[in-house]
Structure 1
Amino acid sequence: MPLVTVTLIGKPGCHLCDDARAVVAGVLEGRAGVRFVERSILDEPALHEQYWDEIPVVLIDDAVHTIYRVDAERLRAALAERGC
């Protein structure tokens, strides 16, 4: 099964990021073939430059899936399309 990477870009202390993390964790729970990665705009200047006013951002295989609020059903559907 191919490995799909879901990345959450945010920063500590961001309540929307906390909400997004909870939704992503719920969708990914028990799902095989998916790797979850978190990256902070505070640790990576290039991410800060690109996303400072859009966090949280969720990427699927490095492509933007959503900005600000994560819809669980939409994320499930996107992963299902990738065979996960």
Structure 2
Amino acid sequence: MPAPRLTLLGKPGCHLCDDARAIVLEVAGERGLGLEEKNILEDEALLAQYAEEIPVLLIDDRVHTIWRVDPERLRRALDAREESA
């Protein structure tokens, strides 16, 4: 199974996005994973869908969490994905 894809949806100037990025980068770094970031202001569909919910963390294009990323919950989700492979 390919490595999980982590995508953080946010926008510039969002302090919650900055907090989420730091947590995701820490957990991703522990596992050798990368992080893709998307600015919702550059995508009308993302803006319409997530304007009031950022940051949003996606794992393999599925919503993992909104607003606040819990590092332990993220680790568990990645472990579960690995176990199901």
TM-score (structure 1 length as normaliser):
0.92
Letter in 2 for 1:78: A
Q: CA deviation at 1:82?
A: 1.5
Distance in 2, Cα, partners of 1:17 & 1:48: 15
1:17-56 matches, cutoff 5 A: 17-32=17-32, 34-56=33-55
Distance in 2, Cα, partners of 1:55 & 1:63: 14
Deviation string, structure 1 residues 12-55 (Cα, Å, up to 9, x no partner): 110000000000001111313x3421001111110000000000
4+ runs deviating over 2 angstroms: none
Gaps of 5+ in 1: none
Letter in 2 for 1:53: E
Gaps of 5+ in 2: none
Superposition RMSD in Å: 1.4
Residue in 1 that maps onto 2:15 = 15
Letter in 1 for 2:74: L
Letter in 1 for 2:18: D
Distance in 2, Cα, partners of 1:79 & 1:51: 23
Residue in 1 that maps onto 2:64 = 65
Contact kept, 8 Å, 1:3 with 1:35, in 2: the verdict is: no
